[in-house]
Structure 1
Amino acid sequence: MDTILVIIVLFVVVGLFGGVGLIFTRETGAKNVTESARYFLSTTRQAGRSLVATRPSTTATTATSSTSDAGSPESAADEGRGPAVTITPARQSTTTTTPSPVSQGPAAARLDDGALRELREELQGELRRASGITREFDARLTRIEANSVDTPQLSTELTRSIEEHAEAQRGELAQLRDELRTVRQTAGPRGERRTEALANLYGHLARVESALAGVVNPMLLPGEPLTLPGELPPETLVWDNWSDVGERAYALGDAFNQHRLVLDPETADEIERFIATLRQGLTGSVDPNVRAQQPTQAQLRQMRAGLETIVAALPGVRRRVELAYRGEGATADDT
């Protein structure tokens, strides 16, 4: 009977403390659930120890009651069993035992180990990510260094390519300007007058060259380049043979004087220099020596030097007139 009573009391106390623990858990919140459970268990253990301590006290009380009843007739028969033993009940502690920090040590250590494990895993993950980022940065730096090594070569090649392209563009622009000048020279009344003047001057140059060839080198055919033979023929020293050359030289100068306005400056200057050379050669080297009855060797050398100057200047002026006629000798100043 006593044991049943103790068990009932124990269940009542456990239920009481369970209710108190539930209320305490709700008040403290989810973050303090572990500490509340630890506190509840430690308090329950203390209550259990107190109840176990009260159990001998109840047994002792029962024995005392039996001893007090020994003087009765019913207990007289039991006197022969020996003296009754008195059990002093243990003093029940009324002080509430608080859970010591030592009792929380293993659980707290377990919690700390779990937190440390999570922290270690998190740090390891961060280190792995940092290692990956470092490798990526190293690869990028390697590529940048490789590109920086190739940059001067690429810059040189790019500069050369730009210069070649610019040179090609300048050539195309020059060709377009030449074509534009040609169109300007040949288009309109002024272009027609210029073309006619160049054709006229070229004809006079051809007649002068033909007259010179008939005197100094009669063996040449029309159209062949004028050259002087190793020894001048006798016809060269006849005055009447030079009259045709003088007339054609005068006609060239007169035509140039009439058409100079429509010529470009370069062509006009070239024709003017040739006319001056032609005049100096005929009047300074040929005419005085042809008039002499018996010219000396020095006079013949002087005459030959004058003729060589005229013959050397003639192809250049003819070439200049040809280029001007085709539109290749004009300049930007020609308007």
Structure 2
Amino acid sequence: MAGGLAMLGARTSYVGCVGQENTHSQLHPLYDDLRQRCEKTGGKVVPIAPPAHTAALEFDDGKIMQGNPLNLYRATWQGVKSALGEHAVQTMVENCDLLGIVNWVMMPGVGGQGGIWEGLTNQVLPKLKSSEPKHIFIDLCDPAKRTDADVSTALTQLQAMNAVKNAAGVHSAKVTLGLNLAEAQRIDAVCGAKGFAGAGDQPTGEQVRLASHRIREKLGLHCVVIHPREGAGATIENGQSAWFDGPLCEKPKLSTGAGDHFNSGFALALAMNLPADECLAIGTSVSGLYVREAQSPTRPRLIEFARSLAQS
């Protein structure tokens, strides 16, 4: 997601598991491209732990992910504060428009007691001085690996994060929950929104849009966006709700990372206060380009592609 945002020209900083095995604070050479992307925008990359590893086996009808996530367990709230310093964490959040936190499923240090979400909610967001809430984009990343109780606790934490106010009584955060279709169906079942009631296994675009509306309403978050392969649907707190037929690619060059690139485009557009349908158009265009070209699109390439969709 960070790489996608940086390629689109947003000033991007990344904090995460990109360090060397024996020297966690030193960047692993594999992520030098990410460092260059972020620094080109005026941002930076801060390693806090070594990377995890996944072997992705891609087929025409799906993919198999063989992951070794052990190093992700080192990503903790204490680790973030130690790497940056508490003042720098506060300053970084104060100066950002968009904060993305991904992979709750594989990183125990993100949710739960004493986790990154709780640290932000209790220690950082209440101290913000900005008169505008920060957009916080959350991607749980396949909650099938967690119990219903875990998922329910996570959703409660996100509700608490969305409700935080600063000393001036201004809301500090606008939380967006990004979901693929399977994730949305799981969240819907756990929270009891009945968003997919009667929709079957292959819901239509309108049914996906309606599900985003019902899940957002049930959870009380700022936005819920659902992105199946065929397009994406979203509902925003201000009442906007839309579905966008995405540029489906039957023979993608690369599918691993498509969701992250959708997230980067959608979240950036949302942080720019664009309407829901335009946020969806940008998100699906970014992911559509990525699967076709196996690389993160630049802003000029995105504009060119989006215009071609409008003319087709």
Q: TM-score range by the shorter chain?
A: under 0.3
TM-score, normalising length: structure 1: 0.18
TM-score, normalising length: structure 2: 0.19
